[in-house]
Structure 1
Amino acid sequence: MTSTPRGPDARPLKVRVKNARSRTSSSQKWLQRQLNDPYVAKARREGWRSRAAFKLIEMDEKIHVLRKGMRIVDLGAAPGGWSQVAAKKTGAADGHGKIVAIDLLEMDSVQGVMFAQMDFLEPSAPEKLFAMLDGKADLVMSDMAANTTGHKKTDHLKIVGLVELAADFARQVLAPNGTFIAKVFQGGTEGTLLADLKRDYTNVRHLKPSASRADSAELYLVATGFRGQADRPAGEDEA
């Protein structure tokens, strides 16, 4: 029931999943997609925790957001693919820089990464983070996605709401000129959210890595050049 992918760009023989009474049709579709995903196979071969690692790798190759010695926060980090990439790219695995991974779920340890099992929305979260990082962060990154209900408008609101919460957390913990990266979906950063990001950062853009599935509406928002709380354009106070 297996085939051997030859890399993300290869086209291996398709794996078919046999019907099982214990599986719902949606879980069957998910399993078949996983078995036929070349990035899933490549992640296993190369030792990455998830296929999502390749999304961050590709974004960094395009815009060079990961630098040696950085202080980084990884929100919703489990299972740890992005933390692995960050540790390798910044040298944290060798003692350079600091990375804190935050999640409500448990996560196996990653060399060079400190893990905090907590809710980043807790009032005490920023202070705990400063203590772990010995200061403010240079990068806050989030690959979180809200649980979907199947109702398009409701899901859209949940997605935007989660990104807004992550963006607000980033405002509290980022050092001036810091960077914020978050998963969004097409149509998910209009209105107030996008206006706030453009106010708070010198550059805001969207990227879609090739590791993102073609049929997915996901994009990644990259906001660079955090102005800092005291360095906003005149007349644009916090709402």
Structure 2
Amino acid sequence: MAKNTSGRGQRDLKVKVKTARGRKLSSTRWLQRQLNDPYVKRAQAEGYRGRAAFKILELDDKFRFLVPGARVVDLGCAPGGWCQVAVKRVNALGERSDKRVGRVLGIDLQEVEPIAGAEIHQLDFLDDGADDRIKEWLGGKADVVMSDMAASSSGHKQTDHLRIIALCEAAAYLAFGVLEEGGTFVAKVLAGGAEGDLQKLLKQKFTKVANVKPPASRSDSSEKFVVATGFRG
């Protein structure tokens, strides 16, 4: 009798990667993890630009801020996975005629390949007047400001933690300048003990602040996401 080779009902076989000459062991481990990551495979199958798309999908499934008609600003949007999710959920392409049409504005330091339904601008959001330019491009204020940004890794855990908290605080201050009353701020942070001041700041400005680690966030990562809803204006 021939063996069942369809894969149905069988275990997924893990891909093993040999360490090539000249390649660091850490690089080999990263590559092996990528090849065996179910979210990487799903992203490829569903046309997303990276596995991070599932983080914002899972956060939105829980908090429902990417609603049809919403105006969204994605800070540090490269490679574009979060924009792709936002375009579909806020109906930026007008594909659902019975729903309001939203807008998605992507901001990044580097050039980003075009995304259907999103307007991408190359800008340092830390520049003076960046909030005014964003409101001009958006034609008003935003309902959602979101950020999956992370500072370049230094290899020192505490330093990296402080850097990403500073980046998140900067993103929060920009959000204060562009959000509509009742708006939402979503950003990545790294757990590490220095996020207390950020939490206090957000609790002053928003009616509710939650800290979440979505399933798509790797278990060995210290990242989590802060979701602040109900901007007080």
TM-score (norm 1): 0.88
Q: Does 1:100 align with 2:100?
A: no
Which position in structure 2 is the counterpart of 1:221?
226
Which position in structure 2 is the counterpart of 1:114?
119
Q: Quote the offset at 1:59 in angstroms.
A: 1.1
User: Structure 1 residues 11, 224: CA separation in 2 closer, same or farther (over 3 Å shift)?
Assistant: farther
CA–CA distance in 2 between the matches of 1:5 and 1:54? Answer: 25
Is the contact made by 1:159 and 1:188 (CA closer than 8 Å) also made in structure 2? no
Pairs within 5 Å for 1:198-209: 198-209=203-214
CA–CA distance in 2 between the matches of 1:126 and 1:54? Answer: 28
Aligned length: 222
CA–CA distance in 1 between the matches of 2:223 and 2:158? Answer: 16
Q: Aligned partner of 2:68: which letter?
A: K
CA–CA distance in 1 between the matches of 2:184 and 2:207? Answer: 10
Q: Quote the offset at 1:189 in angstroms.
A: 5.8
CA–CA distance in 1 between the matches of 2:39 and 2:190? Answer: 20
Q: Aligned partner of 2:37: which letter?
A: D
The gaps in structure 2 that reach 5 residues or longer are: 1-5, 96-100
Which position in structure 2 is the counterpart of 1:234?
none
Q: Aligned partner of 2:82: which letter?
A: W
User: Structure 1 residues 5, 44: CA separation in 2 closer, same or farther (over 3 Å shift)?
Assistant: farther
Q: Quote the offset at 1:72 in angstroms.
A: 0.5
Q: Quote the offset at 1:112 in angstroms.
A: 0.8
How big is the alpha-carbon RMSD for the aligned residues of Structure 1 and Structure 2? 1.9
Q: Does 1:71 align with 2:75?
A: no
Secondary structure at 1:55 match in 2:
helix
Correspondence for 2:129 among 124, 128, 135: 124
Q: 1:20-57 deviations in whole A, cap 9, x for unaligned?
A: 12322222111111101010011001111111111111
Q: 1:85-132 deviations in whole A, cap 9, x for unaligned?
A: 000000002281211101112111111100001111111311211111
Is the contact made by 2:74 and 2:106 (CA closer than 8 Å) also made in structure 1? yes
Percent identity over paired residues: 54
Is the contact made by 1:175 and 1:226 (CA closer than 8 Å) also made in structure 2? yes
User: Structure 1 residues 97, 189: CA separation in 2 closer, same or farther (over 3 Å shift)?
Assistant: farther
Is the contact made by 1:5 and 1:38 (CA closer than 8 Å) also made in structure 2? no
Which position in structure 1 is the counterpart of 2:53?
53
Is the contact made by 1:92 and 1:99 (CA closer than 8 Å) also made in structure 2? yes
Q: Quote the offset at 1:207 in angstroms.
A: 1.1
Q: Quote the offset at 1:81 in angstroms.
A: 0.4
User: Structure 1 residues 171, 189: CA separation in 2 closer, same or farther (over 3 Å shift)?
Assistant: farther
TM-score (norm 2): 0.90
